[in-house]
Amino acid sequence: MQENLNNNISGPGSEHHDSDAAQLAALGYESEFRRDMSPWANFSLGFTYLSPVVGVYTLFAYALAQGGPPMIWSLVICGFGQLLVALVFSEIVAQFPVAGGVYPWARRLWGRKWAWMTGWVYLMALLVTIASVVYGAGPFLAQVLGFEVSVDSTILCAVILLVLSTIINFLGTKVLAVAAVIGFTAEIIGALAVGFWLLITQRHHGLGVLFDSFDAQGSHSFLYAFAAAGLIGAFLYYGFEACGDVAEEVPNPGVLIPKAMRRTIYIGGAAATFVCLSLVLSVADIPAVISGKDVTPVDTLLNKAFGTVGAKIVLGIVLISFLSCAISLQAAASRLAYSYGRDDMIIGSRLLKKFSVARHIPPYALLLAAIVPGIIVLGSKVSTDALTKVVSFASFGIYVGFQMVVLAALRARLKGWKPSGKYQLGKWGLPVNIGALVYGIIAMINMCWPRTPDAPWYDNYIVLASGVVVIVVGILYMMIHRSYGHSNMPYNDAIPKKYLSHQNKVNDMSM
């Protein structure tokens, strides 16, 4: 019997599990997670977080109105820019496959203070994004259930989706993996089915329309209009980092997670572009969308193409996409909060680092990823406008978190860091890193750019102002509580010790 037990332990894949545990131990951690997430499920987690259907359906009308059909090219441009970021992340996660994503990566590449702020900004953005996704899904669920769409029904449906997402996450990694695969399957089938059906039955334009702005730019230059419309691409292409947030739940993460990140960009981007293309070619009256006469072109198309019953079926698929996106976001946020807690980096660490041995999940970190978004959603009862202002920070905050890691990686490279994981860019590492940083800065400027000159300044600069508020609050917290100094876990260890020793000698001589 002992022999059989030993055979079970040393079964297929045990070599990877042993090497994964050894690599993590060398980084200072002993994981409590189970490596139950397959490569397919890991990719699906990133895909459902990126959620091309949610992104395109939510922003299509805005993008088409701002820049006309050429707005679709922003999906290609932003996809390439975020691919550069994903390649940088791939090198980092291959060397530092630790749960939590951007926080532990920034910690290893730069130091504790930089890591704390990176994690803070990114966690706030994730919590707000969860709220925005379930709130955005509220009207769709209300329609499917036959409710009249109102603030109250939207809040109720949003809370239902949030509770369902939380329950699925509480069931553990295996259930999370299954939910991610189901979400991916439903979304990709839905995207292809809807797209092809629209092209077959509702197509009104040829491909030449993709180069016709229909004078959407008005008195502005087309570059100005395209930049505004390009927000659809900027807001769409993130989620691939979620593949790395669960690094301690994936076998052989140094090889599998970089592949999953790239596939999320390739397949997610292709699906989003195809859905967007089918919608553009199927909108009969594009000038009506640009002028504001048709503010819901997606609803108009779906009802015309599928009828009332068919449109509800499509809405059901869209709802699965929203739910899958919320599940993936919660998983990412909870792993980040757990990673914070495990390193004693924030108030409440004693609870955040608690781990359920039975479920193999961090229960209190998951509750945080449910309660805070729930409070934000309920706050819309007081002021829907206030919710809009809070949510405006979501995508910008995620980009800030990304670029803090990209900058940390570039700084580390210039100080001698040579990635040593199973995935390496080699001589392309530095130019890719620089390109990722340039893209990210341009994207963030575009997000913050004031486009409503007649609005009050605080509305015109709401994205930038909300980002500044989050960072300032984080700095004040760091000054008062100094949580960043509580942990003795390794940090700044990507940079070669000989460089640090030389730097210390130079500092001593200068003193």
The share of the chain scoring above pLDDT 70, in percent, equals 92
Domain boundaries, the chain: 36-505
- For 71-84, what is the mean pLDDT? 95
> Are the CB atoms for 116 and 336 separated by under 8 Å?
no
The number of beta carbons lying within 10 Å of the beta carbon of residue 159 is 17
Mean pLDDT of the chain: 87
CA end-to-end span of the chain, whole Å? 68
Residues 6+ apart with CB under 8 A from 280: 64, 69, 72, 205, 209, 210, 286
pLDDT for the residue numbered 452: 79
Pick the closest to residue 165 from 292, 336, 322, 377 (CA basis): 322
At residue 386 the predicted structure's pLDDT band, cuts being 50, 70 and 90, is: low
Residues 6+ apart with CB under 8 A from 304: 202
pLDDT for the residue numbered 218: 83
DSSP assignment letter at 487: -
Rounded distance between C-alpha atoms, residue 463 and residue 101, angstroms:
24
Rounded distance between C-alpha atoms, residue 71 and residue 67, angstroms:
5
Residues 6+ apart with CB under 8 A from 131: 158, 372, 373, 374, 376, 377, 387, 390, 391
The number of beta carbons lying within 10 Å of the beta carbon of residue 105 is 28
Residues in the chain: 511
pLDDT for the residue numbered 501: 55
Q: Dump pLDDT digits (tens) for 334-369.
A: 999 999 888 888 888 899 999 998 888 999 999 999
pLDDT for the residue numbered 207: 94
pLDDT for the residue numbered 164: 95
Q: Dump pLDDT digits (tens) for 110-159.
A: 999 999 999 999 999 999 999 999 998 888 888 878 888 888 888 999 99
May I ask the CATH class of domain 36-505? mainly alpha
pLDDT for the residue numbered 472: 95
DSSP assignment letter at 147: P
> Are the CB atoms for 123 and 426 separated by under 8 Å?
no
DSSP-based helix, strand, coil % in the chain, nearest 5: 75, 0, 25
Rounded distance between C-alpha atoms, residue 315 and residue 340, angstroms:
37
Rounded distance between C-alpha atoms, residue 432 and residue 48, angstroms:
26
pLDDT at 191 > cutoff 80: yes
pLDDT for the residue numbered 381: 79
The number of beta carbons lying within 10 Å of the beta carbon of residue 136 is 19
pLDDT for the residue numbered 498: 66
Pick the closest to residue 128 from 470, 478, 443 (CA basis): 470
pLDDT at 12 > cutoff 50: no
Lowest mean pLDDT among 134-143, 158-167, 485-494: 485-494
Buried b (16+ CB within 10 A) or exposed e, 197-206: bbeeebeeee
DSSP assignment letter at 148: P
Rounded distance between C-alpha atoms, residue 300 and residue 142, angstroms:
18
The number of beta carbons lying within 10 Å of the beta carbon of residue 191 is 22
At residue 404 the predicted structure's pLDDT band, cuts being 50, 70 and 90, is: very high
Q: What SS3 class is residue 358? A: coil
- For 203-207, what is the mean pLDDT? 93
The token pair that represents 121 in the structure block = 């900004």
Q: What SS3 class is residue 214? A: coil
pLDDT at 7 > cutoff 70: no
pLDDT for the residue numbered 394: 86
Backbone angles phi, psi at 348, to 5 degrees: 90, 10
Q: How many CA atoms lie within 13 A of 42 on its CB side?
A: 27
Pick the closest to residue 489 from 88, 30, 95 (CA basis): 30
Q: Dump pLDDT digits (tens) for 224-272.
A: 999 999 989 988 888 899 999 999 999 999 999 999 999 999 999 999 9
Rounded distance between C-alpha atoms, residue 128 and residue 372, angstroms:
8
